[in-house]
């Protein structure tokens, strides 16, 4: 696709007044920061919940100070009940997957930087964009309401399998209004994400500046674009699923509930529905969702790695096509979450094959990152440390996928800690490392100040080693048959592994505490950090051609013109060993 013709003069007026500037802003940069702030609140909440879970697992009878204030029913005398553990587990997963991993790498950084990186003044639909954020905020508020209602949050896990999630209060505590709030919250989140995806796609296709062909876009922009395509289809399926679930719960329909169920000694007034239908709809969304969580981080890491090593990747095109293949394949594998669900065993093999095949583009990406490091001139700083750490984490999290992709092996490993280890390493760590690297890298652009390097490095080391200490042992526990979603381990056979669980808990507490170093760094640097120049990293993409922080319309009244790809490093330019994307200086290769 060719680049667009001349841009409109202004997509929206310059913001005036406190509310327009900081609250109901149409500016993609403010919206990006709002998403980031929401993700920050969600991640610390989710982390706090995980602390509570880890403490309870190894000290089940412990009186946790303050817990009774959080829920009298859930933790009388400060001792967590089994159902409250499941509530915390459900909210932890829901917050982390939706409000952190979809918000931070994708909505936050994507909103802030995609328009700038393609040379646009703002997103295509600024009002939809604002609506998108505030709907997401509403979704979060509705979800958090589950903590304060008397019956508490739902206990069916972030996957909310039916009939447990559909029959209502007979299923157990939290499954009355808690589960309904979950359904409503996620439905709103779907609508918000659809609007967001719409914006990303339209902006990428139609608002690129002169010279900005698709192949000249930065890799993170590509990642956000591919992610938004995936998100469009995925959330468009989850929304109907949530609607049908809410109807089953409140309108007496039976989409997901079969007949003859007796729960809490009551024959449930439903019949004919299919629990597997929920699983299919949910995972048709759910699997692409995890690629929505990882792809932006892959793009961000690629973008920052190139800058840090002062050398382009061996082939940006290969990386782009690999990310596209991952996006495409992500729609063909959802059944690998359902190998043992009772679906046709032939389907298991049908899903296993593309699941194993996805290893190919994932391997290509890993080899691209590794192979490009050869012969580079890697600059070490907080951002690059997290980028390099990402590669390590992605490998670790990815190889456990080899096991789970095979139905035979899944017979044994399904629902064990092996699975929990796998997805935490790829999502909970690798994806988050993408957010960290993006934060350290782009903070100077967003605020005009550096983050503190010393604290950043300290944050990296504790987090890197700490997350390995937490999640690598999960795989061992899975191998011996430690089942997941248990609030405590009452079997004799688990006794020898409690010390390992204690080790994990301590590691989790320490690693979690280190995140406060990051939070402190973020807040302190925002106001008192060392002032940063316009291009502190000697970087080349368009965001580094504008002031820090950028003006409301990004490029002032000018429209940038782009002459080559954004990865002209190792080239003699007027600034040093790089040539900026909007510089007509001679570049290496045609740059497409």
Partner 1 sequence: MRPHFLEVKKSMASTTAPAVVPQSGAERASRSGIWVGIFAITMSFMAFSSALFVRQGSLDWGHLVLPPILYLNTLVLLASSGTFELSRRHLEFHTAGRVGSSGSGVAWLLATLALGIAFCAGQYAAWQNLRAQGIYLATNPNSSFFYVLTSIHVLHVTAGILAFVYLLGRLTIGSGLARRSFFDNTAIYWHFMGVLWLYLLMLCRIKL
Partner 2 sequence: MGKLLGVVLVVIALVSAYPILKNQYPLPEDISTHGHLIDEQLHDTMVEAGISFIGAQLVLAFFVWSFTGRKPGSPLKDLPGGARMLVIVAFVIVGLEVLALGAFGQKAWASVYFTPAKADSLQIQAQAEQFAFYFRYAGPDGKFGQIHPEKIDEGNQNYFGLDPENDVAARDDIVSGELVVPVNREIHLMLHGKDVGHSFFVRELRIQQDFVPGLDLSVHFTTTKIGKYEIVCTQLCGLGHYNMKAYLNVMSQADYDNWFKQQSAQ
Using the minimum distance from each CB to partner 1, give the nearer residue, 98 or 436: 98
By the rule CB under 8 A, 420 interacts with partner 2: no
Helix (H) or strand (E) holding 577: strand 576-578
Which is nearest to 218 in space by CA: 587, 454, 574, 568?
A: 568
Angle 59-64-68 (CA atoms, 0-180°, nearest 5)?
A: 135
Q: Is 563 helix (H, G, I), strand (E, B) or coil?
A: coil
Asked if 148 contacts 162 with a C-beta cutoff of 8 angstroms, the reply is no
In whole angstroms, the minimum distance from the beta carbon of 357 to partner 2 comes to: 6
By the rule CB under 8 A, 206 interacts with partner 1: yes
CA 143 and chain centroid, separation: 18
Tokens for 94, please give them.
């829901």
- Interatomic CA distance for residues 215 and 107, integer angstroms: 22
By the rule CB under 8 A, 132 interacts with partner 1: no
Q: Of residues 84-103, which lie at the interface with partner 2 (CB under 8 A)?
A: 86
By the rule CB under 8 A, 556 interacts with partner 1: no
Helical spans, DSSP H, in 251-344:
275-309, 316-329
Out of 207, 313, 365, 427, the only residue in the binding site for partner 1 (CB under 8 A) is: 207
In whole angstroms, the minimum distance from the beta carbon of 246 to partner 1 comes to: 11
* Bridge partner residues of 569 (DSSP): 578
Out of 177, 189, 284, 552, the only residue in the binding site for partner 1 (CB under 8 A) is: 284
Token match 């949530």: residue? 242
Asked if 444 contacts 453 with a C-beta cutoff of 8 angstroms, the reply is no
Q: Of residues 206-245, which lie at the interface with partner 2 (CB under 8 A)?
A: none
Out of 205, 324, 349, 506, the only residue in the binding site for partner 1 (CB under 8 A) is: 205
In whole angstroms, the minimum distance from the beta carbon of 206 to partner 1 comes to: 4
By the rule CB under 8 A, 281 interacts with partner 1: yes
Q: Which stretch binds partner 2 (CB under 8 A): 17-25, 134-142, 232-240, 478-486?
A: 478-486
> Pick from partner 2, partner 1, none: which does 347 bind, CB < 5 to 8 A by kind?
none
Q: Which stretch binds partner 2 (CB under 8 A): 97-105, 220-228, 425-433, 486-494?
A: 486-494
By the rule CB under 8 A, 491 interacts with partner 2: yes
By the rule CB under 8 A, 162 interacts with partner 1: no
- Interatomic CA distance for residues 175 and 390, integer angstroms: 38
By the rule CB under 8 A, 487 interacts with partner 2: yes
By the rule CB under 8 A, 391 interacts with partner 2: yes
* Bridge partner residues of 210 (DSSP): 561
Using the minimum distance from each CB to partner 1, give the nearer residue, 209 or 297: 209
Token match 């000018």: residue? 558
Cis peptide before 522 (omega within 30 of 0): no
Burial of 234 (0-12, 13-18, 19+ CB in 10 A): buried
In whole angstroms, the minimum distance from the beta carbon of 154 to partner 2 comes to: 11
Per-residue exposure over 306-322, b if at least 16 CB sit within 10 Å of its own CB, e if not: bbbbbbbbeebeebbeb
- Interatomic CA distance for residues 137 and 38, integer angstroms: 7
> Pick from partner 1, partner 2, none: which does 77 bind, CB < 5 to 8 A by kind?
none
- Interatomic CA distance for residues 101 and 183, integer angstroms: 19
Out of 194, 323, 338, 348, the only residue in the binding site for partner 1 (CB under 8 A) is: 194
Q: Of residues 504-543, which lie at the interface with partner 2 (CB under 8 A)?
A: none
Asked if 297 contacts 430 with a C-beta cutoff of 8 angstroms, the reply is yes
Tokens for 102, please give them.
């979809």
| Per-residue binder mask for partner 2 (CB under 8 A), 311-330, x = binder | x-xxx--x------------
Asked if 134 contacts 142 with a C-beta cutoff of 8 angstroms, the reply is no
In whole angstroms, the minimum distance from the beta carbon of 374 to partner 1 comes to: 40
> Pick from partner 2, partner 1, none: which does 125 bind, CB < 5 to 8 A by kind?
partner 1
By the rule CB under 8 A, 301 interacts with partner 2: no
Out of 41, 138, 214, 233, the only residue in the binding site for partner 1 (CB under 8 A) is: 233
In whole angstroms, the minimum distance from the beta carbon of 129 to partner 1 comes to: 12
In whole angstroms, the minimum distance from the beta carbon of 17 to partner 1 comes to: 15
Out of 39, 67, 108, 124, the only residue in the binding site for partner 1 (CB under 8 A) is: 124
- Interatomic CA distance for residues 228 and 326, integer angstroms: 13
Using the minimum distance from each CB to partner 1, give the nearer residue, 189 or 436: 189
- Interatomic CA distance for residues 356 and 333, integer angstroms: 9
Tokens for 182, please give them.
């979950």
| Per-residue binder mask for partner 2 (CB under 8 A), 104-133, x = binder | ------------------------------
Q: Of residues 448-477, which lie at the interface with partner 2 (CB under 8 A)?
A: 457, 464-465, 468, 472, 476-477
Angle 485-488-157 (CA atoms, 0-180°, nearest 5)?
A: 20
**Contact residues for partner 1, defined by CB under 8 A:** 4-13, 120, 124-125, 194, 197-199, 201-203, 205-207, 232-233, 235-237, 239-241, 243-244, 247, 251-255, 258-259, 271-274, 276-277, 280-281, 284
């Amino acid at each position: 696709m060719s680049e667009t013709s001349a841009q409109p003069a202004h997509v929206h007026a310059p913001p005036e007044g406190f509310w327009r500037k900081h609250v109901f802003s149409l500016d993609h940069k403010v919206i990006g920061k709002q998403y980031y702030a929401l993700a920050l609140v969600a991640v610390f909440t989710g982390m706090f919940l995980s602390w509570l879970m880890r403490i309870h697992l190894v000290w089940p009878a412990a009186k946790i100070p303050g817990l009774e204030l959080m829920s009298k029913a859930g933790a009388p005398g400060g001792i967590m009940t089994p159902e409250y553990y499941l509530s915390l587990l459900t909210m932890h997963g829901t917050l982390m997957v939706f409000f952190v991993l979809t918000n931070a790498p994708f909505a936050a950084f994507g909103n802030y930087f995609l328009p700038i990186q393609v040379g646009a003044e703002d997103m295509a639909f600024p009002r939809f964009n604002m609506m998108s954020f505030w709907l997401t905020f509403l979704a979060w508020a509705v979800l958090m309401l589950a903590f304060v209602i008397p019956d508490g949050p739902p206990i069916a896990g972030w996957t909310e399998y039916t009939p447990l999630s559909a029959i209502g209060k007979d299923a157990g505590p939290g499954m009355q209004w808690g589960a309904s709030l979950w359904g409503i919250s996620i439905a709103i989140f779907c609508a918000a994400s659809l609007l967001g995806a719409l914006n990303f796609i339209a902006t990428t296709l139609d608002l690129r500046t002169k010279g900005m062909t698709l192949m000249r876009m930065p890799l993170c922009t590509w990642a956000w674009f591919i992610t938004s395509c995936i998100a469009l289809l995925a959330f468009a399926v989850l929304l109907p699923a949530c609607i049908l679930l809410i109807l089953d719960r409140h309108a007496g329909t039976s989409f997901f509930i079969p007949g003859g169920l007796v729960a809490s000694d009551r024959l449930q007034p439903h019949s004919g529905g299919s629990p597997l239908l929920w699983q299919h709809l949910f995972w048709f969304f759910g699997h692409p969702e995890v690629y929505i969580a990882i792809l932006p981080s892959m793009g961000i890491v690629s973008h920052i790695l190139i800058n840090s090593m002062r050398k382009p990747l061996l082939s940006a095109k290969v990386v782009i096509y690999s990310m596209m293949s991952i996006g495409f394949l992500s729609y063909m594998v959802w059944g690998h979450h359902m190998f043992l669900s009772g679906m046709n065993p032939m389907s298991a093999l049908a899903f296993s094959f593309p699941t194993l095949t996805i290893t190919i583009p994932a391997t290509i990406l890993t080899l691209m990152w590794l192979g490009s490091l050869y012969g580079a001139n890697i600059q070490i700083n907080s951002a690059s440390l997290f980028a390099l750490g990402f590669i390590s984490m992605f490998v670790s999290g990815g190889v456990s996928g080899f096991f789970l992709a095979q139905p035979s092996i899944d017979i044994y490993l399904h629902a064990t800690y092996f699975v929990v280890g796998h997805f935490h390493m790829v999502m909970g760590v690798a994806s988050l490392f993408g957010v960290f690297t993006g934060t350290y890298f782009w903070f100077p652009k967003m605020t005009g100040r550096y983050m503190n390097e010393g604290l950043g490095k300290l944050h990296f080391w504790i987090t890197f080693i700490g997350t390995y200490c937490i999640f690598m042992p999960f795989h061992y526990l899975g191998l011996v048959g430690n089942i997941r979603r248990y609030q405590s381990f009452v079997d004799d056979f688990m006794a020898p592994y409690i010390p390992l669980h204690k080790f994990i808990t301590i590691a989790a507490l320490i690693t979690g505490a280190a995140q406060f170093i990051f939070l402190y760094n973020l807040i302190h640097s925002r106001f008192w950090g060392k002032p940063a120049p316009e291009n502190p990293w000697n970087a080349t993409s368009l965001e580094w051609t504008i002031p820090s922080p950028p003006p409301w319309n990004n490029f002032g009244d000018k429209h940038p013109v782009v002459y080559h790809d954004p990865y002209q490093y190792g080239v003699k330019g007027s600034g040093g060993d790089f040539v900026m994307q909007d510089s007509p200086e001679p570049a290496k290769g045609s740059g497409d």
